[in-house]
Structure 1
Amino acid sequence: MTEEPPRPVRPAGPTRPAVVVLIVGIVVFLLAGAAIIGYTVLGRGGSGGDFDVTPVTPSTVTVTSTAPTPAPAGDSSSPTSSSTSRTTPSPTGAARSTVAGAPEGSTPCPVLFPPYDLYRASSVGSSVTTCGFAERVRRAYAESGRPGQLPRPVVATSPETGERIRMMCAAEARIVTCTGGDDAVVYIY
């Protein structure tokens, strides 16, 4: 009888395919975790755009004006000033308000949507821009990511025409200037 030579003994442990599957699983798990952390920390991306958000309308607005009043008869001193306040209803009957801080030369818009982080209001900087569109640009910019100095595009829908308009927005200090469409200018602050 011939004896067979002894076979080498393999150490017990995982096979090569099992190790490869384990490594691939760990890599996929780490990438998924990094994506979740990136989404949470850096904020969601997107182009802003068309969202169904019910407008919020404040209950009152106070307008203060100062007008000279004539001096009483016989008094040769200069005219004095008086202040008045009033509440102005919007065309829909609800009162609307604006927020102080509009850049000089722009027209502040009624606040239609709630504040978004730093962005509480908008104003228009050209005669072809409407306040309804400016407020939608404010919402689209705020929802497109975190505040930053780098210019970024947003898309907002004009409530007057229904057209989706691309605007390029750039932040400088606490004011964001958005331009685009047919000479539209929107300030967000």
Structure 2
Amino acid sequence: MGEQPTQRMERRVNWFLLKVANALTLARLCGAPVLIWVLLQTPLDRRFDWIAIGVILGLQTTDVLDGWLARRAKPDIHARVNPTGEMLDPVADKLYMNGAYITLMALGRVPLWAGGFVVARDLLILLGWIAAYLRSGVRLLPNLLGKAADSVQALALLMVLALPDNTVSTALLVLVAGLTVVSGVSYAKNALAPPQQA
């Protein structure tokens, strides 16, 4: 029996949703070097702080939208929803976030301890992904702690740019460090956990 019209339409809608989601992820990936360049201009002109804030908000918006679109698509039986997005999405996130923190550390606008926690955690997550995949073929998915840490990291970037040398910015960086450590430990536990038997 051939494919029903409703099934064909659903497949086309899914294809469109995933293409848009992947395009947004690629936009975020391409936006990472743009953000780094803008941040490097901030010592020369403080107006670039606000441009950087706009870029960060745009990157965060693409992160929300691509995930939302991918979840709207219904996977085929025995298939992952969006294997391309599963690979590119964390790469885009880590590239833009780590690039921003490393740049601001180099400019002296983020303390080394705060940015160091962010970079170290993501290196730990990368090693965890590799270890989990080599051991059991399992891909580590973002958990609630990891998403919370990522959100606070982005918020701290915005505050550092909008309110430099402010108590709120410092408090957020302390929170970033704490959540980053806790989420990193959580990812490590998931990576080192014995594979579940079917």
TM-score, normalised via structure 2 length? 0.26
Structure in which a larger fraction of residues adopt strand: 1
Structure of larger gyration radius: 1
Q: Taking structure 1 as the reference length, what is the TM-score of the superposition?
A: 0.26
* Higher RCO by CA contacts (8 Å cutoff, separation 6 or greater): 2
